[in-house]
Amino acid sequence: MGETAKPEGSARGAVERLLNPRSVAILGATPERDSVGGGVLSNLELFGFKGDIHLVSRSRDEINGRPCVKSVADLPRGVDVAVLIVPFKAIRDSVVACIAQGVGAIVIFTSGFAEASDDGRRAQEELAQLCSDAGVALLGPNCMGYTNFVAGVPMTFEPVARHDVGDGARVAIIAQSGATAANIRFALQARSVAISHVVATGNEALLSAEDFIDHALDDAKIAVIAVYVEQLRDPARFLTLAARARGLGKPIVMLHPGSSERGRKAAESHTGALAGDHALMLAAARAEAVVCVPTLDEMFDTCAILARFPAPAPGAAGIVTNSGAIRGLAFDFGETIGLPIAQLSPEVTAELTEQVPPYVHVDNPFDIGTTGFANPGIYGTSATAMLKDPGVGIILSVHAGGSPAMQEKKIDYLLPVYQTAGKPIVFCLIGDDYPLAPAFVEKVRACGIPFFRSPERAMRAMKLVADYAAARVAAEDRDTRSAPTLDLPRGGAVVEYLGKQVLADLGLSVPKGGMAKTADEAVAIAARIGYPLVLKAQAAKLSHKSDAGGVIVGLKDEASLRAGWDRLQANIAAAAPGLTLDGVLVEEMVAPGLELVIGAKRDPNWGPMVLVGLGGVWIEVLRDSRLMPADVSLARAKAEILSLKSARLLGPFRGQPARDVDAVAEVAVRLGALMRANPQILEVDINPLVVHAEGAVALDALFVTE
């Protein structure tokens, strides 16, 4: 969809007027509460909306005792928000009429626009342009509106009840899908999480998720922003907002479908979103400490924890249980999902040792066994001790259900600790099928402690919270080194020998060698660098030199070198008649090592990114690679490399020495600096980068320029 520019400086004011209206108009109002038009009116009356409500109906004089006017022209000028509940064919005229009458903001529920067809997309673009030119805020089309629980404004047709927002931290929900927005709201309300507002943005013809994120960041009461998007319309702005949220200690928890081809197509047909590169989006967002969740359950669970602890400190997990089986399973599952389990300090270990009989082994996870029957206070004191450990960032208290009396004791002793804890505490009673008294569940959720019935589900959420805490710290460490500005050939692939010269100038290792125009020059280079050698034909138009027979390897002496030279020339003449080579690259044969792929790409939406992965089937079949922003720090690059699925191959493995991961990280960081300094470079591909026990050598290098 073509983007329509918002009037300069208008977005924040537009969102404020939309979410906090003093007067509203419903075009297409009806008396039936289960209809769209009746649903909006019913919600406004249920919430006791204190502003003026105007109804527009061609067929009715009044609804629920409220007078109706026949047309928009009969409305008073300057109504803050108009909700359009009219057929597709009447939308344009209704928008024009609202603009003429000075309406400040328009909400369109109607579907059939960009999500449906090219004609619908063009109609949507026209609506956006009309509203933009007039300085009118537009929410939708194809949306379910919004509910502002703080101000008591339910501009939606779905049944919605008043929600006590209290005076504490709140969550804002912003979603391109109305049904998903409702699901997040239901789940968080069931967990006694206060919600400030829910906005379903739909097709985002004008106002986008980014506008509402911006508005939420200005609200000091909003602690967490839950976001469901199928496309971020303005990636650069989103990253700027994410950086601002990170600085404020206000987590953005985002669910973004599109990791599969079908998921991307579903997004396009749902809200007309044109999906970009999902993997690049995730890497860029995570670098700004956006909590990217893969499922709705993890959205619910992570928001529930972060709503109480929006700025957690980095640290591993501390786990208290009354089951030895859970202790073992926690080790396994923690390793599976990458949740680190803390090694307790000697001081905390000593304190826990005093709480249990001598035969109880003290470790993390800490199995209290049957101690809780004689000393139920241990449910609280064990968590208190773990909170003191500087290596513990989040605590899980996970137990078998037990009798109703024991359930009460567990939460009664844990609750005072939770209420004063400076670190997140999560409570789990195992087994969804194990019955709990409804009053007990209500008591637990009302007190605010994040409550789970599955330890695996709890640990997944804990992993996301721990990752967020670490990402906030890592985001402050950015590479700022400079790199030279290059004068490379423009408009396509750069020949290999020039690319390798760039790498050498960056201080990266490439094979010893040189360019030769004749066999005699090749022999002279060989005398300087020694055998064995490889010959590589060099020409910008020779994109697949191996396929053309332009690579000859294993040349062990002058005779084989001269024979290889003749064979290479004959191969190129046959494969690419008339092609003139720049020359032939004569290089040493590098000792075998672990082969990686490392490169960089400039994405039009997300900017320059660096990729590292193991070569061969690892990256092609198993998709084992890591993406990093171009300003990735050396420490972060190393951590990303070590998080590869195949990272064990980088360490001592089956008689092979540990590989020089630091050297690989250095290549990644230097490529990032090069991309930052040279916007004309679109891609860099080093394939392979051979990693030894000391150092890493780029055997091939491809640069692509715009």
* Dihedral angle of Cα 687, 693, 694, 699, to the nearest 10 degrees: -20
pLDDT score for 275: 43
pLDDT value, residue 265: 59
Place of tokens 């998720």: 209
List pLDDT tens digits, range 56-104.
999 999 999 999 999 999 999 999 999 999 999 999 999 999 999 999 9
What integer pLDDT is reported at residue 274 of this predicted model? 42
Compute how many other C-beta atoms are within 10 angstroms of the C-beta atom of residue 150.
18
- What confidence category does residue 681 fall into, taking pLDDT thresholds of 50, 70 and 90? very high
* Residue 10 binned pLDDT confidence (cut-offs 50, 70, 90): low
pLDDT range class, residue 264, cuts 50, 70, 90: low
Burial of 81 (0-12, 13-18, 19+ CB in 10 A): buried
Residue 435's SS3 state is coil
* Per-residue pLDDT at 8 exceeds 50: no
Residue type at position 309 = F
Mean pLDDT, the chain, as a whole number?
Answer: 93
Q: Average pLDDT of 366-392?
A: 94
To the nearest whole percent, how much of the chain has pLDDT over 90? Answer: 85
Check pLDDT > 70 for residue 5: no
Query: How large is the angle between the packed helices 235-248 and 278-287, nearest 10 degrees?
Result: 30
Whether pLDDT at 593 is above 80 = yes
Q: Could you give the 3-state DSSP secondary structure of residue 510?
A: coil
| Least confident residue range of 22-36, 255-269, 378-392, 394-408 | 255-269
Residues whose CB is less than 8 angstroms from the CB of residue 582 and which lie 6 or more positions away in sequence, other chains included: 495, 497, 515, 538, 539, 540
Tens digits of residue pLDDT in 75-84? 999 999 999 9
In this structure, are residues 509 and 698 in contact, taking their beta carbons and an 8 Å threshold? yes
Q: How many CA atoms lie within 13 A of 226 on its CB side?
A: 34
Q: What is the pLDDT of residues 484-541, one digit of tens each?
A: 999 999 999 999 999 999 999 999 999 999 999 999 999 999 999 999 999 999 999 9
Confidence of residue 9 (pLDDT cuts 50, 70, 90): very low
With a cut of 80, say whether residue 345 has pLDDT above it: yes
Q: Return the pLDDT at 617.
A: 65
Could you write out the DSSP letters of every residue in 186-219?
A: HHHHHTT--EEEEEE-TT-SSS-HHHHHHHHHT-
Q: Which residues pair with 318 in a beta bridge?
A: 395
Q: Calculate mean pLDDT across residues 390-395.
A: 98
What pTM was computed for the model?
0.92
**pLDDT tens, 203-237?**
999 999 999 999 999 999 999 999 999 999 999 99
> In the predicted model, what is the mean pLDDT of residues 158-175?
92
Q: Which two tokens stand for residue 621?
A: 């079949």
Residue 548, helix vs strand vs coil: coil
Identify the structural domains of the chain with CATH numbers, from first to last: 6-142 (3.40.50.720), 163-309 (3.40.50.261), 312-476 (3.40.50.261), 512-588 (3.30.1490.20), 594-705 (3.30.470.20)
pLDDT tens-digit profile of 429-471?
998 777 788 888 888 888 889 999 999 999 999 999 999 999 9
At 395, the pLDDT band (50, 70, 90 cuts) reads very high
Q: Is the pLDDT score of 7 beyond 50?
A: no
The pLDDT of residue 432 is: 79
Give the per-residue pLDDT at 3. 55
Output the pLDDT for position 272.
Answer: 45
Summarised one tens digit per residue, pLDDT across range 398-416 is 988 677 777 888 888 999 9
Percent pLDDT > 70 in the chain is 95
- Comparing 30-34, 301-305, 349-353, the range with the smallest average pLDDT is 30-34
Per-residue confidence (pLDDT) for residue 447, from 0 to 100:
85
| DSSP reduced 3-state for 61 | coil
